Amino acid sequence: MLGIVIGLLLLMYLAYRGWSIIWIAPICATVVALFGGVELLPNYTESYMGGFVAFAKSWFPVFMLGAIFGKLMEDTGAAKSVAKFITKLIGPKRAILGVVAGCGVLTYGGVSLFVVVFAIYPLAVALFREANISRKLIPAAIALGSFTFTMTAFPGTPQIQNLIPMEYFRTTPTAAPIIGLIAGLIMAAGGYMYLVWTERKLTANGDGFIEPEENIEEVNEDSLPNPFVSFLPLVSVIVTLNFLEWNVIPALLSGIILIMALNYKMLPKFTEAINKGAAGSVIAIINTSAAVGFGAVVRAVPGFTTLTDFVLGIEGNPLISEAIAVNLLAGATGSASGGLGIALAALGEKYYQLALSSGMDPAVFHRVASLACGGLDSLPHNGAVLTLLAITGMTHKKSYLHIFVVATVIPVLAVIVAIILASMGVV
């Protein structure tokens, strides 16, 4: 147990210091193995790499196709077209809502949050400039629309954080829809109210819009494709995944094929976009697989039995122990998908059997696990947080508190509500 705790703390510390999980995960796994009294080389070649490869084998097609879909949406201008339409429709008087809604539509349609940041940021600057709102709130507005309700809560989202639990609980992307919708509305409404309250407070103190140091390229609306046409690939992914009940791989392929068909005049550029998307997906899948490999080593040492007994022995509803385990591991790795992968690789089958033996719907365990991974994952060392601050030209000092409230505090509260609803029999 001591080795597991030290390994997790070391993983958290090194990740916080900005060191890549690709190489610190096996080092931290070695610490766990050393304290666990297992042979180090077999631990790496069998336990660690076994977990690493198993996750990559199951999920690489989803990571790759999702990245390619997002890159095509970005390079064809479809992502910006959709975002521009939504923000223009809502208007500068509700600039924060426009940014949140634009991000939400894109991420719910299957576009990677990293693509969303690049697509939304120039539009957010223009809206915040016109409304005279401090740029300190742009990262939090983007985080609210991208990292929260459309990532983990809303039923049917094709984001990986909603798909991973399916394998362990034999569920669908729309698992526990009522709980998901209510939790999602808590995140969306709660986060939006906080940002509006903060904006009024900053404005009252004379903290308004300040031009960014770097030149932000204005979005030329004439060069963008038709927004209604650009919506179609997003709709295709959602409809085929949830209503036609296709596997996520053909669902993503439908979006890719449709966006290429609708933008056939850009055919020469597709090769580069697909190459970049595929290459980018490799880093994403390796990062998450490295975290899952660490979890496989934890599962292989004798202390894991003690850890399992401790987690499953937490008094009260088993959903509480599941939420705690997923949230803590997501925080330790600085990754929602990484923490979720570790927790469910280690405990997913036990929770599934517990659901069956207790008469609880496994869909509830799916939704709580998905919701829980979107809380402590957004601590300061999270890769998406670091990328978001870098792109928007903000610092932790200026903007992280607002990200923390909308992407950590409120989602944790939403998980608590979800568990209460599940205890009342709501699914």
- 161 pLDDT more than 70: yes
* Side-chain-facing half-sphere of 304: CA atoms under 13 Å: 20
- 166 pLDDT more than 90: yes
Q: Which two tokens stand for residue 180?
A: 């998901």
- 208 pLDDT more than 80: yes
- 149 pLDDT more than 70: yes
Q: Dihedral of CA 155/121/234/101: which sign?
A: positive
Its pTM stands at: 0.86
- 416 pLDDT more than 90: yes
Q: Which two tokens stand for residue 397?
A: 């000092």
Buried b (16+ CB within 10 A) or exposed e, 1-25: eebbeebbebbbebbeeeeebeebb
Single-letter amino acid code for the residue at 207: D
What's the rounded Cα separation, in Å, for the pair 274 and 260? 11
pLDDT value of position 10: 87
Q: Residues 241-257: pLDDT tens digits?
A: 999 999 999 999 999 99
Per-residue pLDDT, averaged over 21-37, amounts to 89
Smallest Cα–Cα separation from 209: which of 270, 159, 136?
136
Buried b (16+ CB within 10 A) or exposed e, 330-343: bbbbbbbbbbbbbb
pLDDT value of position 212: 86
* Maximum mean pLDDT: which of 33-37, 198-202, 307-311: 198-202
Q: Exposed, middle or buried, 76 (CB in 10 Å: 0-12/13-18/19+)?
A: buried
Q: Which residues, 6+ apart, have CB-to-CB distance to 189 below 8 Å? A: none
pLDDT value of position 268: 84
What's the rounded Cα separation, in Å, for the pair 107 and 146? 6
Q: Which residues, 6+ apart, have CB-to-CB distance to 163 below 8 Å? A: 62, 173, 248
Q: Residues 55-105: pLDDT tens digits?
A: 899 889 998 999 999 999 989 999 999 999 999 899 888 999 999 999 999
pLDDT value of position 310: 77
Smallest Cα–Cα separation from 323: which of 426, 415, 417?
415
Would you say 369 and 337 are in contact if contact means Cβ atoms under 8 Å apart? no
What's the rounded Cα separation, in Å, for the pair 122 and 220? 11
What's the rounded Cα separation, in Å, for the pair 418 and 426? 9
Residue 117: band (very low, low, confident or very high) from pLDDT cuts 50, 70, 90: confident
Per-residue pLDDT, averaged over 416-422, amounts to 96
The pLDDT > 70 percentage for the chain reads 98
Single-letter amino acid code for the residue at 259: I
- 114 pLDDT more than 80: no
Per-residue pLDDT, averaged over 326-353, amounts to 86
Q: What is the DSSP letter of 94?
A: G
pLDDT value of position 288: 81
pLDDT value of position 215: 67
Helix (H, G, I), strand (E, B) or coil at 88: helix
- 390 pLDDT more than 90: no
- 374 pLDDT more than 80: yes
Per-residue pLDDT, averaged over 326-345, amounts to 84
| Mean pLDDT (the chain, rounded) | 90
- Which is more confident, 158 or 113? 158
Taking the domains of the chain in order of start, what are their residue ranges? 2-423
- 217 pLDDT more than 80: no
* Other Cβ atoms within 10 Å of 154 Cβ, number: 24
Q: Which residues, 6+ apart, have CB-to-CB distance to 114 below 8 Å? A: 70, 384, 387
Residue 219: band (very low, low, confident or very high) from pLDDT cuts 50, 70, 90: low
Per-residue pLDDT, averaged over 127-141, amounts to 94
Residue 235: band (very low, low, confident or very high) from pLDDT cuts 50, 70, 90: very high
Q: Which two tokens stand for residue 77?
A: 């201008």
What's the rounded Cα separation, in Å, for the pair 6 and 44? 18
- 309 pLDDT more than 80: no
Smallest Cα–Cα separation from 29: which of 54, 14, 384, 16?
14
Lowest model confidence (mean pLDDT) among 268-272, 332-336, 398-402? 332-336
